[in-house]
Structure 1
Amino acid sequence: MAEHTEIINAAGELRRACEGGRAPQVAAAVDRVEALLHPHTRDEETGLFAVMRRQEEFTDHIDSLCSEHTTLDAQLEAIRRAGAGVDPALVDTFLHDLRHHIDREDNGLFPAAAIALDGPDWAEVDEATPAPAPRAPAPPAGARGQAPDRG
């Protein structure tokens, strides 16, 4: 779910880049969203989704989430192609669809997985999903934008 927050934040950067109307910034913002979104969706599909798909009651839901991944990719590609001349409605649709998709996972599939899967299932998910890349350390106290520690 933390990855979802990063993706949403990058999507906000994408909106601002599109509003700025400069093609290089739009392309860079699409690259950033894709760099977060593609590994995330690949890991979901090869890990959690693959394991959950074995339970018939989740198959249709998993299939619809995978379809949404494809739609989001196509929308990002359309934004990239449009560049500086992107229709704001396209960006709005992408952001709406992204948030809706994340809501379906965070508040639907993930809680269901917590109930439906057991230890061996989670071990299989972990095995199929590479460990997340280490995050950059927090800036030290006194770094730009932070008040120095005076204590």
Structure 2
Amino acid sequence: MCTYCGCESIEVIGRFMAEHTAIINATTELRRACEGGDPAEVRAAVDGVAHLLHPHTEAEEVGLFTVMRRQEEFTEHIDSLCAEHTTLDAQLDRIAAGEHDLFAAFEHDLRHHIDREDNGLFPASAIALEGPDWAEVDETTPPATPATTA
């Protein structure tokens, strides 16, 4: 999590960072389940991660990402982050389907993705966006659910 620029004090950014922490914490159960190899436990752990990840990525994409994408210098970066969301979803599906050895790659990709947001996009958004932009982000971002802030 970025702690150097203060971007976490922007409500939606602070929320997204807190959700990142909850998602990473949920991967602990997924790691244990994959190591144990029980398909039912893996499925339950995948569901737990997905229950946090899917609302989070949707909220990022329809709110902050939509507004930031309008600035040409961020378009390619936003597109790559959205592609990573898709990759993470596909990896979770494959893990649930029995590819438990894919967990290490999933965790690496997830942590790398979160780092790119927390230490790249979020601080950049604090500089690049202005009052009306943030009002639109707040208006278009779906509210947090208890699951995404757990």
TM-score range (shorter-chain normalised) is: 0.7 to 0.9
Which residue of structure 1 aligns with residue 142 of structure 2? 130
1:52-131 map, 5 Å = 52-82=68-98, 86-88=99-101, 90-131=102-143
Looking at structure 1, the residues matched to 146 and 77 of structure 2 have their Cα atoms a distance apart, in angstroms, of 31
Residue-by-residue CA offset, 1:112-138 (whole Å, 9 max, x unaligned): 000000111111111111222358xxx
Residue-by-residue CA offset, 1:73-132 (whole Å, 9 max, x unaligned): 0000000111xxx342x1000000000000000000000000000111111111111222
Looking at structure 2, the residues matched to 53 and 23 of structure 1 have their Cα atoms a distance apart, in angstroms, of 39
More helix per residue:
2
Looking at structure 2, the residues matched to 19 and 56 of structure 1 have their Cα atoms a distance apart, in angstroms, of 43
Structure 1 length-normalised TM: 0.84
Structure 2 length-normalised TM: 0.84
Aligned AA for 2:111?
R
User: Structure 1 residue 28 and structure 2 residue 44: aligned?
Assistant: yes
CA RMSD of aligned residues (A): 1.1
Q: In the superposition, relative to structure 1, how do residues 134 and 74 fare at CA in structure 2: closer, same or farther (>3 Å)? A: closer
Identical counterparts, % of pairs:
73
User: Structure 1 residue 12 and structure 2 residue 28: aligned?
Assistant: yes
Secondary structure at 1:47 match in 2: helix
Q: Which runs of 5+ in 1 are unaligned?
A: 136-151
Looking at structure 1, the residues matched to 112 and 48 of structure 2 have their Cα atoms a distance apart, in angstroms, of 20
Q: Which runs of 5+ in 2 are unaligned?
A: 1-16
Secondary structure at 2:26 match in 1: helix
Say whether the 8 Å CA contact 2:69–2:75 is kept in structure 1: yes
